[in-house]
Amino acid sequence: MSIHTHHEGEHESAYDVGLLGNDAHWAFGTSFEDPLAGVDTTVPDGVDPGTLAAYSLMLGDDALVLSHRLSEWCSRAPDLEEDIALANIALDLLGQARLLLARAAAADPTLVPALPTGSPVPAEDALAFFRGDRELRNVRMAELPNGDFAETVTRVLLLSVQRLAVLQRLSRSRDAVLAAVAAKGVKEVTYHRDFAGRWFLTLAQGTEESHRRLVAALAGLMPWWDELFTTHPVEAEAAAAGVGVDPATVRAEADLVLDHLLATSGVERPQVRPRAGVRVDGQPRTGRDGVHTEALSRMLAEMQSVARAHPLGRW
Amino acid sequence: MVTGPRASEIVRDVPADYSPVERPKGPGLSASRAWEAAAAVVDPELPMLTLADLGVLRRVEARPDGSVEVAITPTYSGCPALATMCDDLVRRLGEEGFGDVRLRVELDPPWSSDDITAQGRAALREAGISAPGPAPRESTGPVPLTLAPVRRRLRCPRCGSTDVALTSEFGSTACEALYRCRACLEPFDHVKEH
């Protein structure tokens, strides 16, 4: 798994043609492209590689899709500080997605979409840019189209409350790779949740208009809350094998955090019916099954267009 | 378990001379030529810091066959500087005659701001960047939600005033917060406790 690079004669970068000078710091030249280079990715004993890979994709896709929605805010946030904050959160999540998708690919390489011979696209990029919406396993709340700032704050809050509780337990996974990725993620998502929580409180207690927008955002998002804690068979299997976390087990903690924030903010929990899955062969299917809202297809069409147009491209 | 906003702010002391206990480095390698070459490579976003001072360089092992294996850890999961660091390590080691470099990512244990060395902290201050205080301890129970603003008691790295204000918890790089000094009116970066 380790990257083997030879210094002599392999650079095709601008360093070598003298455009940038020797002091330039640019991220090209060494083909460093494996975020798990040298990491032991052996699947633990008694764990089905396909289950571990599918489970890693679920957590990775949550991060990937929310990251993209947050990156859509770039240059559009209410002020520069919040613009940078949202971009930073998007970057953290993209980093988590990259590691988790790479972990999935290492556990079960058959999941990685096939690309033309000679394509330099690494496995985690192939998973991010060459899967269709039916193959993505994120929860649907992550993919909803962006609304106003209150909607994004609320969405980051709800998803971070769930993700932090999951990652904290996942840091004790029997899979050393998932455990390490989760331990790193806990530090990052703690910041995300605090950021969103403070803005939630600020908007709730701000002006009449900010309060109105916040309440509307919460009412629009809460129907998608249940799905975050509904156990998919893959999650149940991963949890039983000691490598994953059953999201149903974090529900009580997540509800407690949310109710505390709502009480502090003076906002009532909206009485809404959970959004049902879509019936496929008589069974309700949701994001974890690859059954999404129309918004995901539109998002992917934009997100994947450049990569799909240039499957042999080098960046 | 949940920490709500309190009447008073949460205050975190950031002593200017804070110096954490350093993690032990790889076995007996700090004196080797390969280690020295690798350790001198600087962070592309904080070029006053070497990778050794930032604490991301975990091991440098020269093999009998002339190859070198370098273990590096990212600061944040999405740190875009990691690829550049690897690029620079390969280039620098190549200049020292190590043509065959293998890079390994080491995720465990995760990087902590406590991994920034005393020398690194001095270099940050010298460059007008506020160094981090003690990294928060890992909580064993649920992570508390912190709604009250966390006020760090720190000094402006330019004029030394303690009259500073947080502009944003998210600064120009993933690992920095943005502050401003009310005394000299200059903005400055603070490397976050992580």
Residue of A nearest to B6 (CA): A264
Q: What is the pLDDT of residues A120-135, one digit of tens each?
A: 899 999 999 999 999 9
Tell me the percentage of chain B whose pLDDT exceeds 90: 55
> In this complex, do B87 and A168 lie within 8 Å of one another by their Cβ atoms?
no
**A51 located within any domain:** yes
- Cis geometry, peptide bond prior to residue B109 (ω within 30 degrees of 0): yes
A168 in any annotated domain: yes
Summarize the confidence of residues A5-14 as an average pLDDT: 45
Asked whether the predicted pLDDT for residue B37 surpasses 50, the reply is: yes
Higher-pLDDT residue of B58 and B6 is B58
> Which range among A102-111, B116-125, B140-149 shows the weakest confidence by mean pLDDT?
B140-149
Per-residue pLDDT tens digits for A16-47: 444 444 444 443 444 456 889 888 999 999 99
Which residue of chain B comes nearest to A9, CA vs CA? B99
In what helix (H) or strand (E) does residue A234 lie, and over which residues does it extend?
helix A233-240
List the single residue in A6, A34, A37 with the smallest CB-CB distance to B99. A6
- Tell which wins on pLDDT, A216 or B19: A216
**pLDDT value of residue B24:** 59
Specify if A108 maps to a domain: yes
Query: B3 pLDDT exceeds 50?
Result: no
Structural element, H or E, at residue A220: helix A208-221
CATH of the domain at A146: 1.20.1260.10
Average pLDDT over residues B19-45: 76
Least Cα distance to A299 among A140, A144, A84 occurs for A144
Contacts of B2 in chain A (CB under 8 A): 256-257, 260
- Tens of pLDDT, residue by residue over A145-162, are 999 999 999 999 999 999
Three-state SS for A9-60 is: CCCCCCCCCCCCCCCCCCCCCCCCCCCCCCCCCCCCCCCCHHHHHHHHHHHH
Residue A247, pLDDT score: 98
Q: Is residue A2 part of a domain?
A: no
Which residues on B lie below 8 Å from A197 (Cβ)? 145-147
Stretch B2-11: mean pLDDT, rounded?
A: 52
Mean pLDDT of B15-40: 73
Residue A72 in any domain: the answer is yes
pLDDT given at position A32: 56
Q: Is the pLDDT of residue B31 over 90?
A: no
Residue B140's closest chain A neighbor by CA?
A: A168
In the predicted structure, residue A222 carries a pLDDT above the cut 70: yes
User: How many domains is chain A partitioned into structurally?
Assistant: 1
B163-177: per-residue pLDDT in tens? 999 988 888 887 899
CB-based contact, A27 to chain B, within 8 Å: yes
Residue A212 in domain = yes
Average pLDDT for residues A203-228, to the nearest whole number? 98
What span, in angstroms and rounded, lies between the C-alpha atoms of A92 and B74? 11
Q: Is A170 exposed, middle or buried (CB count within 10 Å of its CB: 0-12, 13-18, 19+)?
A: buried
Residue B189 has pLDDT above 60, yes or no: yes
Rounded Cα distance, A48 and A175, in Å = 12
The pLDDT value recorded for residue A53 is 98
Q: Which chain B residues have a beta carbon less than 8 Å from that of A94?
A: 78
Count residue pairs from A and B with Cβ separation < 8 A.
Answer: 168
A interface mutation test: which of B50, B73, B84, B87 has the most A CBs within 10 A? B87
B178 and A4: CB-CB below 8 Å? no
ipTM of the complex model: 0.86
**Residue B23's pLDDT band (cuts 50, 70, 90):** low
Instruction: Collect all residues with Cβ–Cβ distance below 8 Å to B77 and sequence separation of at least 6.
Output: A92, A95, A96, A98, A99, A181, A184, A185, A188
The pLDDT of B30-59, averaged and rounded, is 90
B77 with A2: Cβ contact below 8 A: no
- Our CA dihedral for A76, A142, A100, B177, rounded to 10 degrees, sits at 40
Q: How far is B33 from chain A (nearest CA, A)?
A: 18
Report the alpha-carbon distance of residue A260 to residue A270 in Å, rounded: 14
pLDDT per residue over B52-80, tens digit each? 999 999 999 888 888 899 999 999 888 88
Is A162's Cβ below 8 Å from some Cβ in B?
Answer: no
Cβ contact (<8 Å) for B107 and A177? yes
- Judge whether A17 lies within some domain: no
| Closest by Cα among A64, A34, A74 to A142 | A64
Residue-wise DSSP of A198-218: HHHHHHHTS-HHHHHHHHHHH
**In this complex, do B172 and A84 lie within 8 Å of one another by their Cβ atoms?**
yes
Provide mean pLDDT across the span A47-58. 98
pLDDT in tens, A273-287: 999 899 998 889 999
**Is residue A21 situated within a structural domain?**
no
List the domain range (segments joined by +) for residue A74.
31-273+285-309
Contacts of A186 in chain B (CB under 8 A): 138, 143
pLDDT of residue B64: 81
What is the structure's pLDDT at B150? 77
